[in-house]
Structure 1
């Protein structure tokens, strides 16, 4: 009996180990400067700040750590959503040094991104944790002074729209942001009851006579050119009949010279008309 119990217990332990998720912890991040940390396995931190105080903070007033999960299973309580954080709202005192341990429970990439921070301290005004799951990554920032509500979301395409959105309130906050799952109503509600719009069929257009729009094979211009070419060929044939090649070239050169002189005289006449006469002193 004890032997059978041992076998059953060992089988249960092996099966639970085989089905458990293995979370990769991104702890050996390379510092690329300006608060940008990353590794070669897809982990990234942007806006890391552990010691520089924001303007208006004379000291770090509190030190806090939170663990935030992101995944599909956290969206089950929000109909119509695909992903969600395990928490949709965070509250902290101003000038708090906050360390966020971000856990991505899915086998895709998620982010924990916070917007609206002072840009002189946080590049692009954001603090950003990003990792491909299942995995965990951590980062630290110092919250600014004052009462303000900051947007927290995942910036991967479509993830925020499908539920990965939260708000972080510093002090009393500055109100609630719209479309925070479980906290505020969506700006655009999903409506599954309204009938689909009727598609109006366009009236059938009159058929276009393609043949009438095409150009004729022989146009008037082409026909005129052919006639002129035939007449000119007949004239030149009679004109050059009995002449040698040298005589033909000399004849053409003579007439070209005469034409050039005529054009030059006409050009000189036009110049005299346009330009004022020179006054002799």
Structure 2
């Protein structure tokens, strides 16, 4: 009994971390790999960090701002058909603003807050990128260029942006609105929950279905040439087989069938060999006398 209790307690001790709630991590001790790339070994990463280098066209930092952005499944509940979202879908700042983003991932999976289209001479690959495996928090800083422009902010994990995790960030007056930003702009492809199939899809499907049905009907027709040949062979051979196997036991019938098949195969091989010998061999060429 004591051994059983000890084994049970040991099993619970080993398995308890798997059932424990994942600890929230503040990723504030990152290793600097150069070129604005910082990361740690716990799933936190910053790319494109820029704390003090002014973009071309900025004489000075015009403003210093900080924002906290949350990411998670629960923020998509207000957007039907979406799975993930940021808690903020639209941002606006003055040109040459120094912005620090505190990115909080409330899910137990990996999320990103990423911008593209920044000047490549200052931001490697034109990108500013925050990434954290949740639940956790990570922070990064960048300085915006002076141009009025609208940037896409999104999570680049597969299907996260398509499922709703995106927004737009305007510098100055921006360069217009981006499509399909949840709660901000209309979707390019509207969701349809009516359960009906669009009319333009019904006709091609109907034609394909009819063609497939016709093909299946032809393939599954009651008669075919193979069936006709089989019936004729059965009618012609039945009397012969009845006389051949009359009075035999089941074992003798099987032995006789095997012997007949062997003889048939041997005869076929003999015929093929004869044809090869007759038409495939080359006649000897007589050499002229010296």
> TM-score, structure 1 length as denominator?
0.68
Match of 1:84 in 2: 85
Q: Cα offset for 1:76? A: 1.2
Q: What CA deviation, in whole Å up to 9, does each residue of 1:213-254 have, x standing for no partner?
A: xxxx78x9975541267896xx89xxxxxxxxxxxxxxx9xx
CA contact (8 A) 2:112 2:155 kept: yes
Q: Cα offset for 1:126? A: 1.0
Q: 2-side partners of 1:209 and 1:118: how far apart? A: 73
Q: 1-side partners of 2:159 and 2:120: how far apart? A: 26
SS at match of 2:277: helix
Aligned pairs for 1:11-50 (under 5 A) are 22-50=23-51
Aligned pairs for 1:43-192 (under 5 A) are 43-192=44-193
Match of 1:204 in 2: 215
Q: 1-side partners of 2:144 and 2:111: how far apart? A: 22
Match of 1:226 in 2: 277
Q: 2-side partners of 1:163 and 1:229: how far apart? A: 73
* Number of matched pairs: 216
SS at match of 1:156: coil
SS at match of 1:138: strand
Q: Cα offset for 1:161? A: 1.0
Range that drifts further, 196-205 or 169-178? 196-205
Match of 1:272 in 2: none
Q: 2-side partners of 1:35 and 1:121: how far apart? A: 10
Q: Cα offset for 1:117? A: 0.6
Range that drifts further, 221-230 or 142-151? 221-230
SS at match of 1:204: helix
Range that drifts further, 200-209 or 104-113? 200-209
CA contact (8 A) 2:22 2:108 kept: no
Q: 1-side partners of 2:158 and 2:125: how far apart? A: 19
SS at match of 2:74: helix
Match of 2:250 in 1: none
Which one has the largest radius of gyration? 1
SS at match of 1:184: coil
Distance 1:155 1:222, change over 3 A: farther
Match of 1:248 in 2: none
SS at match of 1:50: coil
CA contact (8 A) 2:113 2:155 kept: yes
Coordinate RMSD, CA, aligned: 3.3
Match of 1:269 in 2: none
SS at match of 2:215: coil
SS at match of 1:114: strand
Q: What CA deviation, in whole Å up to 9, does each residue of 1:184-214 have, x standing for no partner?
A: 000001111152356625022655979xxxx
SS at match of 1:74: helix
Q: 1-side partners of 2:42 and 2:81: how far apart? A: 32
Q: Cα offset for 1:35? A: 1.1
> TM-score, structure 2 length as denominator?
0.66
Match of 1:10 in 2: none
Q: 2-side partners of 1:130 and 1:224: how far apart? A: 76
Between structures 1 and 2, the one with greater helix share:
2
